[in-house]
Amino acid sequence: MQNGSLSQEYANKQARIKTNYGDFVVSFFDNDAPKTVENFIRLSQEEKYNNSPFHRIIKGFMIQGGDFTNGDGTGGESIYGGPFEDELEQSAKSYKEGYKRGVIAMANRGPNTNGSQFFINLVDNNSVLSKNYTIFGQVSEGMEVVDKIADIPVLENAYGELSVPTERVIIEQVTIEERKDK
């Protein structure tokens, strides 16, 4: 592991993400991305993600959320007081398996610019995504909810990308629980 191991306080956890479209559960890859997992858990415990939107939906690709400051993909923040480094250890199982369906990874603006935004892959995206995004978990329950969110009609954003949902998709609450599959 490139950043050490996860504190016991944050190990073996999962996140139950309640949205206005239903709930899904993310199981974390503690050993592969300990700093990223801690960031997500602590932001969740501080209720930062509560009432924030999934602001970007690209059919057949991914849904993106986690901008709790601006709600439009331009904001968000980490627990570390600024952007933090990628966790892209080539020997990690998640790195080797890559961006498969249901994988959750950090959205960023370039190397080592992680904050709070994340995306969930709707399909296997290994052929279209370079390995520049820290993978830190997998949807382990409720992928049908993620698919339902992905089916929401979208409009063009300011850059011409069809990705702005026509209906608000809100993360109502994120609850951190003990992982069932330890």
pLDDT per position as a tens digit, 139-162 = 999 999 999 999 999 999 999 999
The predicted pLDDT at position 182 comes to: 60
Residues with Cβ within 8 Å of 163's Cβ and at least 6 positions away in sequence, in order, are 56, 57, 58, 154, 156, 157
Structure-token match 């996140």, residue found: 15
Q: Which residues of the chain have pLDDT under 50?
A: 1-3
The CATH class for the domain spanning 13-178 reads: mainly beta
pLDDT digits (tens, 9 = 90+) for 100-123: 999 999 999 999 999 999 999 999
